[in-house]
Homo-oligomer: A and B are copies of this chain.
């Protein structure tokens, strides 16, 4: 699950409640990883309190500020026990440079395959895909090279996630990223919104905000390959959707799902 940032952590916990609700049957242990954050001592207690209020049997908090900590067998053991693995916000490069290629990331990948819920907010959401967006000011956007991309954690493929999307007007970042590789779906998550990516690769929107889908697969033309750095990028034919809570999107079929369709698709997958 990817959260757009600024989710409520202290009052009704609407989004975190849904993270917790996705935990596998019989396992309500949560591990919170603050590798993206430079202030883990401030942020970890907030999430500990939130997940405890939600009924977690145990909450493990890991500051995980360097590669030594990302190789710590005790951290691996805590991840292997947990049904919910949560990445805080901060700086996505701080996160990937600490845990990329580490035993901790390998343990998370295995837990994800075995049914644990992996969630991240803000930078922790942006880092989940194979390719990660980590910077680029809105003012420079749609100039070749303005969007910075790097290899992400690889916990979900075929899409890129940008957070704080509406307030910071980040449409152009995902448009440029889509022009570079139209095969990658752009997922822009607004404040107090989140997406659940189900195992059948259907994306479900929750929260009171928006999720913007930027689909460049039908891109008709772009000049991006021919440009020098800093020159303005032309893009013909990007498809944009604005999704709200209860709506969904089939990532591989590139299909918008209104509430009824989403319900039907999610029921289907439950049939054994």
Contacts and interface: CB of A to CB of B under 8 A. Distances in A.
Interface of A: 138-139, 141-142, 166-172, 175, 208-210, 220-221, 223, 232-245, 247, 256, 258
A113 B16 CA distance: 60
A271 to B, nearest CB: 27
A95 B34 CA distance: 52
A255 to B, nearest CB: 10
A138 B243 CA distance: 17
Given A142-B166, A166-B142, A172-B166, A242 B233 contact: yes
Nearest to A215: B237
Contacts of A236: 241, 256, 258
Please name the 3 residue pairs, one residue from A and one from B, whose CB atoms are nearest each other, closest first. A169-B169, A235-B242, A171-B171
17 contacts: A139-B167, A141-B166, A142-B166, A142-B210, A169-B169, A169-B170, A171-B171, A175-B240, A210-B232, A221-B256, A232-B244, A233-B244, A234-B243, A234-B244, A234-B247, A235-B240, A237-B241
Contacts of A242: 142, 172, 175, 233-235, 238
A239 B241 contact: no
A219 to B, nearest CB: 10
A234 B209 CA distance: 10
A183 to B, nearest CB: 18
Most buried by B among A168, A210, A239, A242: A242
Nearest to A170: B169
A232 B208 contact: yes
A252 to B, nearest CB: 18
Contacts of A138: 166-167, 169
A167 B233 CA distance: 15
Contacts of A243: 234
Given A168-B169, A221-B256, A234-B258, 11 more contacts: A138-B166, A169-B169, A209-B232, A233-B242, A234-B242, A235-B242, A236-B258, A237-B256, A238-B239, A238-B240, A240-B240
Contacts of A166: 138-139, 141-142, 172
